[in-house]
């Protein structure tokens, strides 16, 4: 998991300062994110990301007229 430090972190015997990008295991990364020490790096590399099948568009449903019930 690739992260960017947002607070100084001691990771693998080194201090990672703010803005430093590093890799760690999934569980450790989730913990650092949860505690506010790092953020996930999102890479825009389509070669590494699996393709998402396109969802067919749902046709718009016309609104049904509202009927008022008569009560006496």
The tens digit of pLDDT for each residue in 19-31 reads: 999 999 999 999 9
Q: What does the pLDDT read at residue 16? A: 93
pLDDT of residue 25: 95
- Give the max Cα distance, the chain: 80
Question: Looking at residue 42, what is its pLDDT?
Answer: 85
pLDDT < 50 positions in the chain: none
Q: Which residues lie below 8 Å from residue 2, measured CB to CB, with a gap of 6+?
A: 21, 22, 23, 40, 41, 43
């Amino acid at each position: 998991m690739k992260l960017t430090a947002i607070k100084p972190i001691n990771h693998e015997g080194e201090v990672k300062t703010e803005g430093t990008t590093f890799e760690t295991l999934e569980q450790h990364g989730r913990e650092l994110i949860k505690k506010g020490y790092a953020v996930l790096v999102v890479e825009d590399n389509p070669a590494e990301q699996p393709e998402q099948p396109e969802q067919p568009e749902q046709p718009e449903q016309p609104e049904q007229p509202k009927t008022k019930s008569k009560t006496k």
